[in-house]
């Protein structure tokens, strides 16, 4: 293929891309204003939910105890404390629904249930 043919093909492709951009712009302009408001409201709601979850996480993280390295740390006690805190936070977030909390923690519901029993976590329902 000659350089001239390649140049013509590239030029044609660019023209088609620009035409597609105009169509997308026209599509956006012709959308119903109510639909745009609904989409905007949904985006705002999603952002508010994310911010609320982040605040809950920050509040819970602030409650975590500080580690005293000078005294030494019991690794297994810290793991238990950490898992218990995460499980409680997930249960609070899901209104005590263990299946949803397990999804949130990305573990199986049976694993979550066994940890709740093992750690004797109460007040989750």
Q: Cα–Cα distance between 121 and 87 in angstroms, integer? A: 8
**Residue 90 CB neighbours (<10 A):** 20
Please, what are the domains in the chain?
64-125 (1.10.10.60)
Per-residue model confidence (pLDDT) at position 113: 95
Sign of CA dihedral 109, 58, 77, 123: negative
pTM: 0.50
Provide the pLDDT for residue 56.
Answer: 67
Q: Which residues of 30-64 are buried (b: 16+ CB within 10 A; e: fewer)?
A: eeeeeeeeeeeeeeeeeeeeeeeeeeeeeeeeeee
Q: In 3D, which of 57, 60, 125, 56 has the Cα closest to residue 97?
A: 125
Q: 83-117: per-residue pLDDT in tens?
A: 998 899 889 889 999 999 999 999 999 999 999 99
> What six digits make up the tokens of 19?
């035409």
User: Is 34's pLDDT higher than 60?
Assistant: yes
Q: Which residue has the tokens 């297994």?
A: 76
Q: What is the pLDDT of residue 3?
A: 59
Residue 74 to residue 54: CA distance in whole angstroms = 29
- Of 65 and 50, the structure prediction assigns the larger pLDDT to 50
Q: What percent of the chain has pLDDT over 70?
A: 66
């Amino acid at each position: 293929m000659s350089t001239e043919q390649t140049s013509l093909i590239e030029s044609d492709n660019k023209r088609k891309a620009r035409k597609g951009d105009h169509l997308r712009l026209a599509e956006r302009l012709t959308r119903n204003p109510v639909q745009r408001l609904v989409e905007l409201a949904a985006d705002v709601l999603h952002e508010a939910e994310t911010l609320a979850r982040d605040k809950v996480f920050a509040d819970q993280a602030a409650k975590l105890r500080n580690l005293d390295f000078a005294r030494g740390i019991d690794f297994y006690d810290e793991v238990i404390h950490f898992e218990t805190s995460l499980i409680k936070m997930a249960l609070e977030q899901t209104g005590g629904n263990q299946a949803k909390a397990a999804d949130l923690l990305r573990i199986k519901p049976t694993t979550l249930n066994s940890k709740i029993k093992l750690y004797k976590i109460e007040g989750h329902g």
